[in-house]
Amino acid sequence: MTHPNQTLYQQKLVTADQAVRLIESGNRIYYGEFVLFPQTLDRALALRMKEANLSDITVESVCLTRVPEAAKQPETAGNLSINDWHFGVTSRNLYNQGACAYKPITYHQGPRIIRKYGEYDAVFLPAGPMGPRGNFNFGVCNSISSAVLDKARAIVIEVNKNIPKCLGGNQESIHISRVTHVVESDDPSLLEVPPAKPTETEITIAGHLMKEIEDGSCIQLGIGGLPNVIGEMIADSDLKDLGLHTEMMVDSCVELYEKGRITGARKVVDKYKMAYTFAMGTRKLYEFLDDNPVCASYPVNYINDPRIIALNPKVVAINNAIEVDLFTQVASESVGPRHISGTGGQLDFIMGAFYSRGGKGFICLSSTYTDKQGNKKSRIVPTLNPGTIVTVPRSMVHYVATEFGIAQLKGKSTRERAEALIGIAHPCFRDELIADAEQMGIWKNSIRKEA
């Protein structure tokens, strides 16, 4: 006898071309998150837009990792708008072409924003094969998808056998009864993001941060060379009973667990669990996550909520920035009006780490960079350039770290903050920054020059 869930599956199973017939001009479609891009449905939508002459189609995602097919075709590109809740390389390139807009978000508020104000005509959501109880698992991405599903007129699941089964947590799957159509893809491999090779500067910064991590710390690591090298250093250390509560699960987390550094034994919430909201890395990471009860996938309104973060003691949050000014405003999203990234979870974790007992939230950046003309420039600047987006306001900043050390800024005056920042700026810019601070009235000429 056929199980009712299998009967529903067969009733709702259609081709991608059939599924996209529900799309009409003016529709808004959600495309999933990060490496889970609905490739089969995307191709079918581009063809549907061309053949039916559809216009005013909007596609939304969280950190697009592929360019929608309709954006590549001259016949359809002008009829497609793309919105992204967080910018990576793909969205940044599209933005520079005038083809993508950013949706500002404090990440942990994303699901609430969607449930209050969002409306979607359709969701094209990649998921793993249906389980015996009729559920499709979202796999490696669970940040805002569950909220979008609540506000969608039609839900189309694109089944991909290569998506690992990532256990909850909660809201990591959807039942067949809620699904409008099921489309079986040709099972494309998940995009792999190899760990970035750290620079010498990042290795130095990581050395400073290692002194701040204790037995029982609960860590948050992100993407990039700095988090990777910190992960390597922790793996090779003798630290014990670390916890993991992180927005993004990366390859270095696997090594930390396999070497026994992460146990979660001293966590207060999600004890013994590696809690996260999305994962992006290599096959090694995806295989580690598959059906692994040690890992817990949650929506971002749980993982990134500062109130939840703070429940665990000794939270160590490590995040990157582009610039910090002498008023201690942190810019991590743009250089002037040139958009680069997004707020992501940086503000969430800086706040959560501060409220955590013994917690520390670090903003990390190299002290200098080299511009296109080959000139060395300071990343600690007098003021941010006009149009630069402030990601972490000065009132929220806790620690700032460069290769020259760490500055703790909480409870300090404007002058004391500027002095601390100048102390970790590159030495060749310190006198200039002192003069800038004097000119701006942060202090008079009495500052110690050796700062």
Per residue in 253-290, pLDDT (tens digit) is 999 999 999 999 999 999 999 999 999 999 999 999 99
Virtual torsion, Cα 289, 292, 296, 298, nearest 10 deg:
60
- Report, as an integer, the average pLDDT of 418-444: 94
| Residue 55 contacts residue 25 (beta carbons within 8 Å) | yes
Eight-class DSSP state of 85: S
> Which residue type does 237 have?
S
Superfamily of domain 4-184: Glutaconate Coenzyme A-transferase (3.40.1080.10)
pLDDT of residue 3: 87
- What are 187-209's pLDDT values in tens digits? 999 999 988 889 999 999 999 99
pLDDT of residue 451: 46
Residue 339 in tokens: 């958009």
User: Which DSSP string corresponds to 210-257?
Assistant: HTT--TT-EEE--SSHHHHHHHHHHHTS---SBEEEEEEE-HHHHHHH
Nearest C-alpha neighbor of 82 from the set 38, 43, 31: 31
Asked whether residue 16 carries a pLDDT value surpassing 60, the answer given is yes
CA dist., res. 246 & res. 280, Å (int): 12
Residue appearing with tokens 């941060």: 209
User: Quick check: helix, strand or coil at residue 133?
Assistant: coil
Write out the residue limits of the CATH 3.40.1080.10 domain(s) in the chain: 4-184
CA dist., res. 364 & res. 324, Å (int): 10
CA dist., res. 314 & res. 353, Å (int): 8
Helix residue spans in 262-343 (DSSP H): 283-289, 300-303, 306-309
Residue 151 in tokens: 């506000």
CA dist., res. 45 & res. 100, Å (int): 18
Nearest C-alpha neighbor of 86 from the set 100, 71, 68: 100
User: Which residues are 81's β-sheet partners?
Assistant: 58
In angstroms, how far apart are the furthest CA atoms of the chain? 87
- How big is the CA angle at 402 (ends 399 and 408), to the nearest 5 degrees? 20
- What are 112-142's pLDDT values in tens digits? 999 999 999 999 999 999 999 999 999 999 9
CA dist., res. 103 & res. 148, Å (int): 15
β-strand pairing of 122-127 with 155-159: parallel
Among 159-173, 195-209, 217-231, 337-351, which is the least confidently predicted range?
217-231
Asked whether residue 87 carries a pLDDT value surpassing 60, the answer given is yes
pLDDT of residue 225: 86
| Residues that are catalytic | 247
Q: What's the Cα-to-Cα distance from 128 to each of 132, 149, 163, 254, 272, rounded to whole Å?
A: 12, 16, 5, 22, 26
Write out the residue limits of the CATH 3.40.1080.20 domain(s) in the chain: 200-439
Residue 350 in tokens: 């800086």
Asked whether residue 250 carries a pLDDT value surpassing 60, the answer given is yes
Asked whether residue 1 carries a pLDDT value surpassing 90, the answer given is no
Q: What percent of the chain has pLDDT over 70?
A: 98
Q: What's the Cα-to-Cα distance from 70 to each of 42, 226, 288, rounded to whole Å?
A: 8, 36, 34
Mean pLDDT taken over the chain: 95
Among 274-278, 336-340, 421-425, 441-445, which is the least confidently predicted range?
441-445
**358 contact partners, CB below 8 Å, separation of at least 6:** 214, 313, 314
Q: What's the Cα-to-Cα distance from 64 to each of 89, 189, 374, 381, rounded to whole Å?
A: 8, 16, 31, 31
Residue 308 in tokens: 């939840």
Nearest C-alpha neighbor of 141 from the set 36, 296, 289: 36
Count CA atoms within 13 Å of residue 237 on its CB side: 22
- What are 296-322's pLDDT values in tens digits? 999 999 999 999 999 999 999 999 999
CA dist., res. 9 & res. 174, Å (int): 13
Say which CATH topology domain 200-439 has. Glutaconate Coenzyme A-transferase (3.40.1080)
| Residue 49 contacts residue 70 (beta carbons within 8 Å) | yes
> Which residue type does 216 have?
G
| Residue 87 contacts residue 63 (beta carbons within 8 Å) | yes
The whole-angstrom distance between residue 169's C-alpha and the CA centroid of its chain comes to 18
pLDDT of residue 450: 47
**337 contact partners, CB below 8 Å, separation of at least 6:** 386, 387, 388
Asked whether residue 403 carries a pLDDT value surpassing 70, the answer given is yes
CA dist., res. 306 & res. 118, Å (int): 23
